[in-house]
Structure 1
Amino acid sequence: MENPFFRNHRSSSIIEALDLNPTMTVLDFGCGPGRLTLPLARALREGGSVVAFDMQQAMLDRVRVRAENEGLSNVAYVRGEAGEGKVDPGRFDRILLVAVLGEIPDREGALGEMRRGLKREGLLCLSEVIADPHFQGREEVRRLASSAGFIERAFFGSPWAYTLLLAPDLSLSDRSEMGSASSERDLAEESLRVDS
């Protein structure tokens, strides 16, 4: 989304809230034209990486051109939608959903997919701004996030433009689902070796 009101909910304040270290892996889900993807890639250029994820190939192409023009080689590109199983389990230190949640038909399912995509100590950064026609209010987002297995770590902003930092609720009985992510990857890799 490229409108002046949304630009005021600055990329720098969202990125600052993420508490990044240079080796993290970050998923920018619904990356659009790369408003956050590129600053993230710059912040992580010393060994970290960003996955730009969007349903529109044209958006991914725009991000790719901009990243190449800046010499950023730590960006990967995935075309897909929430619920297609393209978010790798247990891979990400941080996941961003910025003005995207309201566009997803199964919002709770998408948040569950994001939770599974996080490492145990990972964070989901969910931002909303009222200028977005699909704006999701804080209470609705909190309800959905709780149902999907998240707990709120922090809130920044106002009712009209805010960022929530959400962490996986490790006290849930299904927490083994998160812990098993690396086991699932190990099994998949073993299967590939056997099939080779």
Structure 2
Amino acid sequence: MSLLTTTHVCPTEISIILNNRIRRWLQNPRKILGPYIKEGMDVLEVGCGPGFFTLDMARMVGENGQVVAVDLQEGMLAKVREKIRRIGTGLNIVLHKCDEDRIGVSGNFDFVFLFYMVHEVVDKEAFFRELESLLKKDGQIYIAEPPLHVSKKAFEETVMIAGKAGFTVVDRPKRFPDKIIVLKKA
């Protein structure tokens, strides 16, 4: 069974809707991530898409930190690569194309960012087990899911699966209309 299903993944062709000024106003990366990401952190972003959050996270971790941006689609990674090229050097970002059945990176991360992508994961148990092996002891995972794609029941099932993989709830930030949870290792 695959970890991700390519039939439910946002296609690269419509990624333009993921990068716009209205979204930046509604989902400001610095406001969302400010309480969690600090200078020098190692951050894993799974499902980076066209990099809406990626560059802001890289600026937040600074030159002593690193962002590993992962996506299933080479087209999405190409869009992030182009953004990085346009702004020049100075951001410590590593791009990684994952497989359908695993993330496939190594390292110990302080923070894992999963924005609007967990509902696309087929084998959530395997996914969270892999994340558990990548997260530092005091690290955190931020999960946000969209209101139209994910019911409250489905979201709570995801939280339960994460709990079985060794995570516990730290916070449930409120940001209408999203479903959000912050987890840490139990």
Larger Rg: 1
Are 1:120 and 2:137 matched, yes or no? Answer: yes
3-state SS of paired residue (1:63): helix
Gaps of 5+ in 1: 170-196
Q: Distance in 2 between matches of 1:51 and 1:136?
A: 29
Q: Distance in 2 between matches of 1:44 and 1:158?
A: 23
CA RMSD of aligned residues (A): 2.2
1:12-27 map, 5 Å: 12-18=30-36, 20-27=37-44
**Aligned residue-pair number:** 165
Normalising by structure 2, we get a TM-score of 0.79
Alignment-mate amino acid for residue 43 of structure 1: M
Percent of pairs with identical residues = 28
Q: 1:111 offset after TM fit, Å?
A: 1.2
Are 1:41 and 2:58 matched, yes or no? Answer: yes
Normalising by structure 1, we get a TM-score of 0.75
Q: Distance in 2 between matches of 1:158 and 1:73?
A: 28
Are 1:79 and 2:130 matched, yes or no? Answer: no
Q: Distance in 2 between matches of 1:139 and 1:50?
A: 28
3-state SS of paired residue (2:68): strand
Aligned to 1:190: none
Greater RCO (Cα-Cα under 8 Å, separation 6 or more):
2
Q: 1:82 offset after TM fit, Å?
A: 5.7
Given that 1:30 and 1:98 are in contact with CA atoms closer than 8 Å, whether structure 2 keeps it comes out as: yes
1:84-117 per-position Cα deviation (integer Å, ceiling 9, x unaligned): 361325x111011111111111012101111111
* Superposed structure 1 runs of 4+ greater than 4 Å apart: 3-7
Given that 2:119 and 2:145 are in contact with CA atoms closer than 8 Å, whether structure 1 keeps it comes out as: no
Given that 1:9 and 1:129 are in contact with CA atoms closer than 8 Å, whether structure 2 keeps it comes out as: no
